[in-house]
Amino acid sequence: MKLLVFLLLFSVIGSAFCNEPVPYRLINANHLAAHRVGEEYITVLNGDVHFFYDEIEFLADRAEIFEVQQFVTLRGNVVVIQDTLKITSHEGQYFHQSQHLEARGDVVMTETHDDVLHRRVTSDTATHFRERGEFIVRGNVFAHDVLESLFGQAGYAFFNQTDGYGYMIQRPIVWRAGEDSLSLSAEKIEFFEENDKLVASFNVVTQNSEFKATSNFLIYYGDEDRILYIGDPRFYSENGDGNADLITVFLVENKIREIHLEGNSFINFRSGNEGLKDNWVSSTNMILFYIDDKPVEFIARENVQSFIRQDRNDRRQTMNNNVSGELLTIFFDENSDIESLNINERIQGRYRFRRR
């Protein structure tokens, strides 16, 4: 989730007063005027303003430099450039003492390396605490990681570059575009650079074209492509739905490789690509194995209860299997139809899985 390592900007801190003016280097201004108001000296720049202040490059239609209070105000076509980061907006303020920048009005932030755009974030307002490495964006936040084809949006986002921690709130959603599209929404989404970890809290929903899962909490380990669903986790797919105390999904290139269900597990599914999901299995532990988003094998262990209906086809008669045991294994064919079924240990009930 490298994309959100770029989500930015801040809360206001009062400026301290200082007798030493901050030197600035003027590149251009169509008009310059200097004023004294009480103990303050104000330099007013108008028209094609371009200058450096605190080693940061500023451009605007109008700028005012307050020498004693050590801050700058900017209006009209504001551009702020620091290393690889560029921020544009309608208005802006920079405070030397707290080393923070405020930007307001159609804010656009871009990160560029060697003339290649890596990330772009837009918002209504933005704040950057330079020394602390903190970024906050507010209002209509939209982010795009170009290299990773990742997108994100929210009402508010925070990120600390020093700690490698960030979060999004106010209806946040993150998604990947393309054929392997995958989206995540929740009430709060947190990011941890360490282990490329992501945590989502409350009303969590993840989905792609084949799969949807809901839970109260989610933990994603990017370095392992592993997702943990906690708190009434449930999943829904074209061929089957399930729930458990804990659900773990393993991905390969955003496609499901395995689904593990632990504790009070239940799944209902259909045999084949059509019909009702009228087959069901309950047990203590389950594993579903997938290839190209299609189930190929299912294993249920401990306290297995099941109902498997086999409709008639060219290879078998219609059969209903209502059976319990300790180990159930099902293999599916390329059409997601049951190829074979085996149950072992303490078998009870009716079990007649035979081909014609």
Tens digits of per-residue pLDDT, 167-212? Answer: 999 999 999 877 667 899 999 999 998 878 999 999 999 988 778 9
> What structural domains does the chain harbor?
1-170 (2.60.450.10), 224-356 (2.60.450.10)
Q: Which of 17, 7, 6, 8 is nearest to 95 (CA)?
A: 17
pLDDT of residue 261: 95
Cβ pair 186, 204 in contact under 8 A: yes
Q: Which residues contact 23 (CB under 8 A, 6 or more apart)?
A: none
For the chain, give percent helix, strand, coil, nearest 5: 0, 70, 30
Q: DSSP letter at 39?
A: T
Whole-angstrom distance, CA of residue 240 vs CA of residue 249: 15
Q: Which residues contact 14 (CB under 8 A, 6 or more apart)?
A: none
Whole-angstrom distance, CA of residue 242 vs CA of residue 24: 64
User: If you average pLDDT over every residue of the chain, what do you get?
Assistant: 84
Structure pTM? 0.81
Instruction: Tell me the CB-side half-sphere exposure of residue 229, using CA atoms within 13 A.
Output: 28
Q: Which of 199, 182, 134, 186 is nearest to 160 (CA)?
A: 134
Helices (H), 100-209: none
What does the pLDDT look like over 39-92, one tens digit per residue?
A: 889 999 999 999 999 889 999 999 999 999 999 999 999 999 998 899 999 999
What does the pLDDT look like over 10-33, one tens digit per residue?
A: 222 222 233 466 888 999 999 999
Residue 244: is it exposed, middle or buried by C-beta count within 10 angstroms (0-12/13-18/19+)? buried
